[in-house]
């Protein structure tokens, strides 16, 4: 059986305590994950600290950049290994993992290598009281050992989205992947060794959150900064841990994102866009659309068209041709999603389509499958509309005016993303200015330019990453004043 070891100081490290990794498609045990205890987390943090003072810390930016390009190239060379690991861990469709997850895993190293190579720092000439001059300039220095705590929905993409810029800035990292998805983070250890990244620069500790590797890492006094992607309430626990030692955090948290479709939108494109934003990755995307608001003149037509699209999704295992909807990540998550399907019914929702589980053949019947689901008719106060479900589902409600759409979109504690569909350029810009989110897509969804700011407002996060914004988190600016 596959063994998922910790990766500490360039070595794969077994532990006495393991837990099973199960395949979401059929719940079969596919591997044993070696859980890191306090001793392994201590060792990983110590290795990361030693590497900072060692060859990694002494390397020039140009040398670091070359190594990060090599990491990206090696991920691409081992594309099929990463693809297989990601599909086994998550059950996501091959079409999705091969077009989104794995290419972004490589791009996250390449792009941040380019950014650090080209970023300027400020410099000012000033007058001094004695009539002379001084030069002030900034040095961009690493923040130190960065703890990287990751979720399971886009494991390689979201982990490298943080590891790429952290390493580009000269930091070292200790990564805690989700307990559900140990594969690609472990594989990346092989890549680091192959291309010659010094020992201790990239470390991986496996385990859970509370009372396990996640808590040990985030409480560790040797960790200088914590970057986290996951649920908002986990963010609260990590923030409390980070308070000890006033360590900075960067948080990408949950969402309850609104999709807004105006009557003047390109109808077919809007339907296709909302189909993606509601159902891609089986709805397990933080940027996904679980609340859809459609302007009344096209409401009935839109609901019927989205129903047809949802029913045309092909449910099945990763490699089956034409599959567009995989399983949920775990039995526990399936129970959570189905509890919302039940709540919607109990609150009197009209179930437009879905609402249950599909019947799957053979061993797949043990997997974590749910039907793509659409509801109408719930009050806005419903937990189904206020809480993040993180499944392939959405509620659709009508609206009449632009002001009403803005009020509906903003009536949530979250503030991550929105997608607005209209052909009126004025409407588009007004909506972008009025909706309280970190990310606003107009006539599109999940279009990404890695140079731009990414993150959420309200309960959806703290800070922005992407482009130079990542450098703000992963470096400290030191101001140097030189009397000339
Ligand atoms: P989660 O918060 O349950 O777990 C994320 C990670 O935190 C895991 O590695 C887990 O082991 C660890 N963890 C849990 N409790 C911890 C603790 N007390 N201390 C330290 N570590 C702890 O999230 P998940 O279920 O893996 O992912 C789904 C969630 O992530 C959703 O809410 C989704 O919206 C969010 N998410 C947000 C973004 C974004 O960019 N905003 C991206 C992806 C996912
Ligand atoms: O594209 C990204 O960089 C990113 N952080 C995506 C997040 C997706 C959430 O599930």
Encode pLDDT of 415-464 as tens digits.
999 999 999 999 999 999 999 999 999 999 999 999 999 999 999 999 99
CATH ID of 2-253+460-483, from 3.40.50.300, 3.30.360.10, 3.40.605.10, 3.40.1160.10: 3.40.605.10
The b/e string for 148-158 (b: 16+ C-beta within 10 A; e otherwise) is bbbbbbbbbbb
CA of 200 to the centre of ligand 1 (A): 25
Which residues lie below 8 Å from residue 121, measured CB to CB, with a gap of 6+? Answer: 137, 138, 139, 140, 477
CA nearest neighbour of 428 among 420, 438, 436: 420
Cβ(93) – ligand 1 distance below 6 Å: no
CB under 8 Å to 132, separation ≥6 — which residues?
Answer: 483, 484
Quote helix, strand, coil % in the chain, to nearest 5.
45, 25, 35
- At 421, list the tokens: 């569909």
Is the Cβ–Cβ distance between 150 and 180 less than 8 Å? no
Q: Pocket around ligand 2: residues whose beta carbon is below 6 Å from it?
A: 153-154, 158, 161, 252, 285-287, 448, 454
Give per-residue pLDDT as tens, 95-128: 999 999 999 999 999 999 999 999 999 999 999 9
Query: What is the CATH architecture assignment of 257-449?
Result: 3-Layer(aba) Sandwich (3.40)
Task: Calculate how far, in angstroms, residue 254's C-alpha sits from the geometric centre of ligand 2.
Answer: 11
Q: What's the confidence (pLDDT) of residue 334?
A: 98
- pLDDT tens-digit map of 310-346: 999 999 999 999 999 999 999 999 999 999 999 999 9
Nearest ligand 2 atom to the CA of 252 is 5
Atom of ligand 2 at shortest distance to CA of 466?
3
Average pLDDT over residues 59-64: 97
Pocket flag, ligand 1, residue 390 (CB < 6 Å): yes
418 vs 409: CA distance, rounded Å = 8
| pLDDT > 70 fraction of the chain, expressed in percent and rounded | 100
Q: What is the pLDDT of residues 80-99, one digit of tens each?
A: 999 999 999 999 999 999 99
Task: For 394-406, give one letter per residue: b (16+ CB within 10 A) or e.
Answer: bbbbbbeebeebb
Is 252 catalytic? The answer is yes
- CA of 54 from ligand 2 middle (Å) equals 32
Residue-wise pLDDT for 334-383, tens only, equals 999 999 999 999 999 999 999 999 999 999 999 999 999 999 999 999 99
Do 399 and 296 meet the contact criterion of CB atoms below 8 Å apart?
Answer: yes
pLDDT digits (tens, 9 = 90+) for 147-196: 999 999 999 999 999 999 999 999 999 999 999 999 999 999 999 999 99
Is-contact 361 367, C-beta < 8 A? no
Instruction: Please report, for the chain, the start and end positions of each structural domain, with discontinuous segments joined by +.
Output: 2-253+460-483, 257-449
Q: Give 275-296 pLDDT, tens digit per residue.
A: 999 999 999 999 999 999 999 9
Angle (CA) 132-136-140 rounded to 5° is 165
- From the candidates 150, 169, 282, 286, which is the catalytic residue? 286
DSSP-assigned letter for residue 354: -
């Amino acid at each position: 059986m596959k063994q998922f070891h910790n990766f500490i100081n360039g070595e794969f490290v077994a532990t006495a305590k393991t837990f099973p990794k199960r395949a979401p498609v059929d719940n079969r045990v596919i591997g044993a994950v070696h859980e890191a205890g306090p001793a392994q987390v201590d060792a990983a943090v110590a290795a990361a600290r030693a590497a900072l003072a060692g060859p990694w810390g002494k390397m020039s930016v140009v040398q670091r950049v070359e190594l990060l390009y090599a990491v990206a190239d090696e991920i691409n060379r081992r594309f099929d290994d990463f693809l297989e690991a990601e599909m086994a861990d998550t059950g996501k469709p091959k079409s999705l993992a091969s077009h989104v997850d794995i290419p972004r895993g490589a791009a996250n190293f390449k792009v941040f290598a380019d950014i650090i190579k080209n970023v300027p720092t400020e410099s000012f000439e000033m007058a001094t009281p004695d009539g002379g001059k001084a030069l002030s300039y900034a040095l961009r220095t690493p923040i130190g050992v960065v703890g990287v705590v990751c979720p399971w929905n886009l494991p390689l993409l979201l982990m490298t989205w943080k590891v790429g810029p952290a390493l580009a800035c000269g930091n070292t990292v200790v990564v805690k992947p989700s307990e559900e998805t140990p594969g690609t983070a472990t594989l990346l250890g092989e890549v680091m060794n192959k291309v010659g990244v010094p020992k201790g620069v990239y470390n991986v500790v496996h385990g859970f959150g509370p009372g396990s590797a996640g808590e040990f890492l985030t409480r560790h006094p040797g960790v200088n900064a914590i970057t986290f992607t996951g649920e908002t309430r986990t963010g609260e626990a990590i923030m409390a841990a980070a308070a000890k030692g006033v360590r900075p955090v960067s948080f990408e948290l949950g969402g309850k994102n609104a999709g807004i479709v105006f009557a003047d939108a390109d109808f077919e494109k809007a339907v296709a866009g909302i189909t993606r934003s509601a159902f891609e990755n089986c709805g397990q995307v933080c940027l996904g659309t679980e609340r859809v608001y459609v302007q009344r003149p096209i409401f009935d037509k839109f609901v019927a068209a989205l129903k047809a699209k949802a029913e045309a999704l092909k449910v099945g295992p990763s490699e089956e041709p034409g599959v567009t909807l995989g399983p949920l990540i775990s039995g526990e998550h399936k129970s959570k999603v189905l509890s919302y399907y039940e709540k919607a019914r109990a609150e009197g929702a009209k179930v437009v389509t879905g609402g249950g589980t599909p019947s799957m053949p053979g061993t797949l019947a043990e997997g974590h499958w749910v039907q793509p689901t659409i509801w109408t008719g719930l009050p806005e106060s419903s937990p189904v509309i206020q809480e993040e479900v993180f499944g392939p589902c959405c509620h659709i409600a009508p609206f009449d005016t632009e002001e009403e759409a803005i009020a509906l979109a903003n009536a949530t504690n979250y503030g991550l993303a929105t997608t607005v569909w209209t052909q009126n350029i004025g409407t588009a810009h007004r909506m972008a200015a009025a909706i309280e989110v970190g990310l606003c897509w107009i006539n599109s969804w999940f279009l990404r330019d890695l140079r731009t700011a990414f993150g959420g407002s309200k309960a959806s996060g703290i800070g922005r990453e992407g482009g130079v914004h990542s450098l703000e988190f992963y470096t400290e600016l030191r101001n140097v004043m030189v009397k000339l």
